[in-house]
């Protein structure tokens, strides 16, 4: 690793301009600039070498100009894309991070980043698992699956659970957590390969390819003849309407995400909301950031499950920053099989 104070070249993925509709690879470009590896004197900043970057659907919302300061800020055109990643500290003015430490949190899509706001950084203390897992199962998507399923859905043994976008970063974990709880779990995904993965590797009881189903209501009815107790929603749109018609009394719908809506200028409407009323359904949205204070408790439960092989994690690895724009854009056509990670460097 390069030494402190040295100025080195820095390959970056730059966000070109605000996006309308589906994002394209050309909404970003790769350029090389230079960076000092020294944290500013007297500051709390950290300079990191980025190792693994996370591609997440919410990043699409940051590609749209958003003037509302209460929401996630937009990316800044002309500057590197920002997102979750795993990195190694090169220099630090922060009392909690020292050179050589590994961390995960918000960083830049570039080889080296100067991070001035260390609020969202977590030190990595367990390295007996793949480091890339801190972009997924041990990072933001893992926390999302855990908090969304256990806190928002309040599952009980034997309940019927439906997960949409089930083979992705979050969905594959929700399904496995539900199986560990003794639930019956069905997932939907967008290809034959993903359906096989759900049934044969991830332990789902059943799965279907929603792209092959003209009638989603009947597809769900076939999988859940007695109805759904818990619907973990990642997709939105038509799937919500189909789900609502298949819920049981006192069912819970955790609204984790609505990836089918992120690229639409006009979101689709939902017709079947009346079912919330007469079936006494609780439909609740949640944001993972509200649960980050429970990160150590989360690690205490999930790390042993990984080590004991009770939970597995499927990753889709793109090599190099050059391939990062395609990897990110690919999320919106289901190119990723499992958690989409970009490798910048392996230490």
Question: Tokens 């976008």 identify what position?
Answer: 165
Residues recorded for the chain: 347
Q: Does 260 bind ligand NAP (CB under 6 A)?
A: yes
Nearest CB to ligand NAP, comparing residues 181 and 240: 240
CB-based contact 47:113 (threshold 8 Å): yes
Q: Does 334 bind ligand NAP (CB under 6 A)?
A: yes
Give the footprint of ligand NAP on residues 164-183 (CB under 6 A). 165, 168-171
Q: Does 113 bind ligand NAP (CB under 6 A)?
A: no
Q: Does 153 bind ligand NAP (CB under 6 A)?
A: no
CB-based contact 140:84 (threshold 8 Å): yes
Q: What secondary structure letter does DSSP report for 40?
A: P
Give the footprint of ligand NAP on residues 214-253 (CB under 6 A). 234-235
- Could you tell me the smallest distance in angstroms from the CB atom of residue 248 to ligand NAP? 23
Q: Does 194 bind ligand NAP (CB under 6 A)?
A: yes
- Could you tell me the smallest distance in angstroms from the CB atom of residue 139 to ligand NAP? 10
- Candidates 72-80, 149-157, 244-252, 334-342; binding stretch for ligand NAP (CB under 6 A): 334-342
Q: What is the dihedral of CA 164, 168, 173, 178, to 10 degrees?
A: 20
35: left (phi over 0), alpha (psi -120 to 50) or beta: beta
- Could you tell me the smallest distance in angstroms from the CB atom of residue 345 to ligand NAP? 23
256 burial class (0-12, 13-18, 19+ CB within 10 angstroms)? Answer: buried
Question: Tokens 């973990």 identify what position?
Answer: 232
- Strands 82-92 and 46-54: what pairing? antiparallel
Q: According to CB under 6 A, which one of 63, 102, 189, 198 is a site residue for ligand NAP?
A: 189
By the criterion CB under 6 A, which residues form the site for ligand NAP? 56-58, 141, 144, 165, 168-171, 189-191, 194, 234-235, 256-260, 286-288, 331-332, 334, 336, 339
């Amino acid at each position: 690793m390069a030494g402190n104070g040295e100025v080195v070249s820095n390959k970056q993925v730059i966000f070109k301009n605000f996006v309308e509709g589906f994002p394209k690879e050309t909404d970003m470009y790769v350029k090389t600039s230079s960076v000092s590896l020294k944290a500013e004197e007297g500051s709390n900043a950290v300079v990191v070498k980025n190792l693994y970057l996370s591609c997440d659907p919410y990043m699409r919302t940051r590609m749209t100009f958003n003037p509302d300061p209460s929401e996630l800020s937009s990316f800044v055109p002309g500057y590197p894309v920002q997102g979750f990643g795993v990195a190694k500290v090169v220099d630090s003015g922060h009392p909690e991070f020292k050179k050589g430490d590994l961390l995960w949190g918000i960083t830049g899509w570039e080889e080296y980043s100067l991070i001035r706001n260390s609020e969202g950084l977590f030190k990595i203390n367990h390295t007996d698992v793949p480091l890339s897992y801190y972009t997924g199962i041990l990072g933001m998507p893992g926390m999302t699956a855990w908090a969304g399923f256990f806190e928002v859905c309040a599952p009980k043994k034997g309940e019927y659970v439906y997960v949409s976008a089930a083979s992705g970063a979050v969905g594959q974990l929700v399904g496995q957590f539900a199986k560990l709880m003794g639930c019956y779990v069905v997932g939907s995904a967008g290809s034959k390969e993903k359906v096989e993965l759900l049934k044969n590797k991830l332990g789902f009881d059943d799965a279907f390819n929603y792209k092959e189903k003209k009638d989603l209501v009947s597809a769900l009815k076939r999988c859940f003849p007695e109805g759904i107790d818990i619907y973990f929603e990642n997709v939105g749109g038509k799937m919500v309407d189909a789900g609502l018609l298949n819920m049981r009394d006192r069912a819970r719908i955790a609204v984790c995400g609505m990836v089918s809506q992120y690229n639409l200028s006009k979101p689709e409407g939902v017709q079947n909301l009346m079912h919330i009323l007469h079936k006494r359904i609780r439909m609740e949205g949640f944001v993972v950031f509200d649960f980050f204070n429970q990160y150590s408790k989360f690690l205490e439960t999930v790390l042993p499950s990984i080590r004991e092989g009770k939970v597995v994690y499927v990753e889709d690895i793109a090599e190099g920053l050059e391939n990062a724009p395609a990897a990110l854009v690919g999320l919106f056509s289901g190119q990723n099989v499992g958690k989409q990670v970009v490798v910048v460097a392996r230490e």
